[in-house]
Chains A and B, each alone.
Chain A
Amino acid sequence: MATVGYSKKVMEHFMNPHNVGVIENPDGYGKVGNPVCGDVMEIFIKVKEDIITDIKFRTFGCGSAIATSSMVTDLAKGKHIDEAVKITRGDVANELDGLPAQKMHCSNLAADALHEAIKDYKNKKQKK
C-alpha cells in the first residue's frame, strides 16, 4: 500500500521539535531556502574542538520542513564536524521513517542548512 500522510515520527518531531531556537554568537550559522518557495531554515552551531556541542534551528515551512530540521539537529549534536558534514538527506528521511516523495526536498534543505553552518564555522576558523 502507498504511504498515506506523514509517519508517526515526522508528526512527533513536528509537534515537539528538538533544539528549537537561536544561539547568540554561534560558531557557525547556515541559512537556506526562500520565503517565496515556502521554506526557510536556519541552523546555529556551537563547536568545541571540532565537536558540535550545541545546535539550534528555526524553520518557516511545512510539517516535513520542521520535522527534518529537528531531526538533522538531533543527528548532528555531539558529532565531530567531519562526521556531521556527511549527514545526507537520505539519513534525515530514513531516521524519520520516510517522507512522501514530493517532500524529499525538505530533507535536502535540512541537510543543506547544516552543511552551510559547518562551512561557516570552517571559514571563521581559517580567518582566525
Chain B
Amino acid sequence: MTRIYLDHASSMPIDLRVYEFAKPFLTSSHGNPSTLHSVGLEARRAVEESRSKIAQLIHAENENTILFTSGATEANNLAVKGTALRNISQGKTVVASAIEHMSVLNPMKDLQKNGYTFTTLPVDASGIVDLKKLESILSKQTILTSIMYANNEIGTIEPIQEISTLVHETGLYLHVDAVAAAGRIPIDVQKDGIDLLTLSSNDLYGPPGAGALYVKPGVKLQSIMLGGGQERGLRSGTENVFAIAGMGEAARIAHHEMQQESTRLIPIRDRLIKEILTIDQSYLTGHPTHRLPHHASFRFSYIEGESILLNMDMYDIQVSTGSACSSKTLEPSHVLLAIGLKHEEAHGSMVLTLGRSTTMEDVPIVSKATNETVQRLRKLSPMSQEWRT
C-alpha cells in the first residue's frame, strides 16, 4: 500500500528545490538581516529577493507592497486589526463573508467586542457570496471588507473583481485571503482591485513559518506587533530568513508551473468527483465549476466525518473533514453550516485536496476506498435504516 496524501489544504511537503535553495539560510548565510556585516547582508538580500518573487506571483505594483509575517494567521490578523485601528476616523464597520477563515472572523469578533460593528455576509448553497446583500450592507463607514479568493473547505472561487467594484463604490478597503487560491489560479491584485492580500508559504510548497501580506501603495495600516521596527515598522521581529527565502522560491516556481499543474490536476479532480458521486447519497460540496483545480469535497448521508478520516487512513489515504468530532470546539464546520447544510449533514463531510504527488492512477484506489469506507460505516449506522420498537 502506497501512501496517497490528499490533505494538501492542511499541510504540504516543502518542494525539494525550495529546500535546497533555502538551506544555506539556516547554516552558512544565517545572518540577521538587520545587521550590516556580510553574513547579515546575505540574509537581507535573500529577504528582498523573496519579496520581489512574491510580488511577481500576484502581479503587485512593486516588491515594497509585500510584508512578511509568521504565517497566514498573522497576516489576516494584521490586515483586519491593522486597518481597523488605523482608519477608525473613517468608520468602525467591518464586513466578512460567513465562510472566512477563523483568523479573519475571530479578529473581527474581537473588534466587535471593542465597539466596532461586524457584519457577516451570507453565501449561497455553492458558497458564492451574496453580492446584492453586500451592496446593501456597505456604507461609508465600512472600512474593511474581507472576502477570500477561494475557500479551503469547499473549493469555491469567489467573484473577486465584482466584489472589489462594489466595495470601492461605497466602502474603503478590500482584504482578500488568498491562501487556498495562490499558486493554484492566477491572481492579479491590480486587475482584481485588491487592497490587502494574505499568502502562506506552506500552501505554495514553501517552508512553514512564513506568510505575507500584500498592502497596496497608499493603504493605511498600523502595526499590531511592536518591537524593533522590522518590515517598515509594520511587523517587528527578526525575519525568519529560511522560511522567507523558501517562500519566495516557492512563489517563483508556482508562478512558472501553475498553469501546467492546473491543466494536469483538473482532469484528475473531475474524474475523482465523478467516481465518488456514484456512491448512493453522496453530494459534492461547493461550486461545481467555479472551483479550485486541486479541490474535491463531499458529504455522505448517515455517517460521520472523523470515522471517514480514520477509516481512509487505514488505506493509507489522508483526507480532511469538517465534522465536529474532529474539531477542537466540537462544533461542525462554520463553512458547511453557512452553505445551508444541517448539522447532521455537515458531520458527514470529506475534503480531498490534491497536490503534485497526485496522479490519475490514484483515482480508482481512492474511489474504491471511499466507497468501502462509506458502505462499512453505513452498516454500523442507525441513521441509514431506522429500526422501530
Contacts and interface: CB of A to CB of B under 8 A. Distances in A.
* A is bound by B: yes
Interface majority SS (helix, strand, loop, mixed), chain B: loop
A75 interface: no
Interface majority SS (helix, strand, loop, mixed), chain A: mixed
| Interface bracket on A | 20 to 34
Interface stretch (B182-190, B258-266, B377-385): B377-385
B331 to A, nearest CB: 10
B382 A36 contact: no
Interface string A28-42: 010100011111111
Interface in B353-389: 379-383, 387, 389
Contacts of A37: 324, 343
Nearest to A14: B310
B64 interface: no
A31 B344 contact: no
A116 to B, nearest CB: 11
A41 B389 CA distance: 15
Interface in A96-114: 102-103
B19 interface: no
B306 interface: yes
Given A29-B389, A40-B383, A58-B382, A63 B310 contact: yes
Contacts of A60: 302-304, 380-383
A52 to B, nearest CB: 18
A85 interface: no
Contacts of B381: 40, 58-60
A38 to B, nearest CB: 4
A42 B387 contact: yes
A62 B344 contact: no
A78 interface: no
Interface of B: 302-304, 306-307, 310-311, 314, 323-326, 328, 330, 332, 342-344, 347, 379-383, 387, 389
Given A31-B382, A59-B382, 16 more contacts: A20-B379, A35-B347, A36-B343, A37-B324, A38-B324, A38-B343, A39-B325, A42-B387, A60-B304, A60-B381, A60-B382, A60-B383, A62-B323, A63-B307, A63-B325, A66-B307
5 contacts: A14-B310, A60-B382, A62-B306, A63-B307, A65-B304
